[in-house]
Amino acid sequence: METGFKSEMRETEPKGKILSFFELDKEEENNLKEEVKRHNGLVRIFVHPNFEEYAGYEDKQQQIQSAKKLRQMDRALQRILESSSDKLPPVIILHAINEIWNLTKYDVKTDKMVQDYKLATEKLEKMGDWMNDVKYNSRDNNIYIVPTKSCSPDPVLLCAHNEKEAWGEMIDELKSLGVKKILIGGAELYTPDKIYMEENMSEYTEQDGTIDVMKYLGGCLGYTVHQLRENFDLELSTLTYPEGRQEIKKQWQD
């Protein structure tokens, strides 16, 4: 005989899944498309959001306030991922796979060691179920994972031959889902040195005279912004490291 208590417990069990963004079945893809539509084309993307790991690094550098802020950001991220609210837009995480790191080959033309995209895809394929490397927790909302190298936000896709093709696939897939706007956060985010920008102001100034700082953001997060900004309306999240949108804004007001 089933009790009302057991029935209630079943109803509160987590329904969310951790899914590979590029390996969705038709039903999963349609569900994501409906979620995007319900949020008027908005999704959240986090790039390598390993805030707790960065906090450990800041601890070693005795940067107490920075470490504290990072742990606050990590808790905020966990609340988003584990939320049961249907008011939150879909979350996509560019997840760094530790095993895919610094894969290089010798380039005869340049006489240098260069990153080899083919080696990265071969490594991913040999790993089999690479999703075992993913440790995020979900509640009632799905979390969508895009694999990247540990040292780069470039998606590692078996169907792509190079980084440019991979970003093209990423952009095409987002468009096919109806994505129009992205609230983006994660790590690492840097702005160019202000003195350099002032010396090269013409590169950063739009036709209307405004300064487009986002055009030249650096780090893994900054590079991702650069890849996506021509196709989507991008807004920086409050969850970014080491620089944040308030610091960037203040830097250009001083």
Which domain range does residue 41 map to? 14-188
Minimum mean pLDDT among 41-50, 160-169, 202-211: which range?
202-211
- Number of structural domains (the chain) is 1
Structure tokens that stand for 157 in this block = 């896709």
Task: Report the mean per-residue pLDDT for the chain.
Answer: 84
Average confidence (pLDDT) over 205-215: 69
Confidence of residue 222 (pLDDT cuts 50, 70, 90): very high
Kindly report the pTM of this predicted structure.
0.84
Q: Which residue would you say has higher pLDDT here, 95 or 213?
A: 95
Tokens standing for residue 102 = 């610094």
Looking at the domain assignment, is residue 254 inside a domain?
no
Closest CA to 186 of 138, 136, 239: 239
Q: Is residue 34 part of a domain?
A: yes
Give 140's pLDDT tier (boundaries 50, 70, 90). Answer: confident
Domain contains 252: no
Q: What stretches of 163-251 show up as alpha helix (H) in DSSP?
A: 163-176, 194-199, 201-204, 219-228, 245-251
Establish if 52 belongs to a structural domain.
yes
- What is the mean predicted confidence (pLDDT) over 136-154? 89
93 or 198: which carries more pLDDT confidence?
93
- CA distances 224 to 10, 140, 162, 186, 190, Å, are 40, 27, 16, 10, 12
- Cα separation of 136 and 235, whole Å? 23
Those residues whose C-beta lies under 8 Å from the C-beta of residue 72, and which sit 6 or more positions away, are: none
In the predicted model, what is the mean pLDDT of residues 86-104?
A: 84
pLDDT digits (tens, 9 = 90+) for 148-171: 988 889 999 988 989 999 999 999
| Greater model confidence, 86 or 43 | 43
Query: Is position 134 within any domain?
Result: yes
- With beta carbons less than 8 A apart as the criterion, state whether 58 and 70 touch: yes
Mean local confidence (pLDDT), 61-85:
92
Q: Is the pLDDT of residue 92 over 50?
A: yes
**Beta strands 112-115; 104-107: pairing state:** antiparallel
Q: Which residue has the higher pLDDT, 234 or 98?
A: 234
Decide if pLDDT at 128 tops 80.
no
Residue 8: pLDDT band with limits 50, 70, 90 = very low
Query: What is the average pLDDT across 37-42?
Result: 98
112 lies in a domain?
yes
Residues of the chain above pLDDT 90, percent = 50
Residue 12 has pLDDT above 80, yes or no: no
For residue 214, being part of any structural domain is answered with no
Q: In whole angstroms, give the CA distance from residue 122 to residue 143.
A: 25
- Determine, yes or no, domain membership for 216: no
Neighbours of 77 (CB within 10 A): 22
Could you tell me if 203 and 231 are in contact, meaning their C-beta atoms sit under 8 angstroms apart? Answer: no
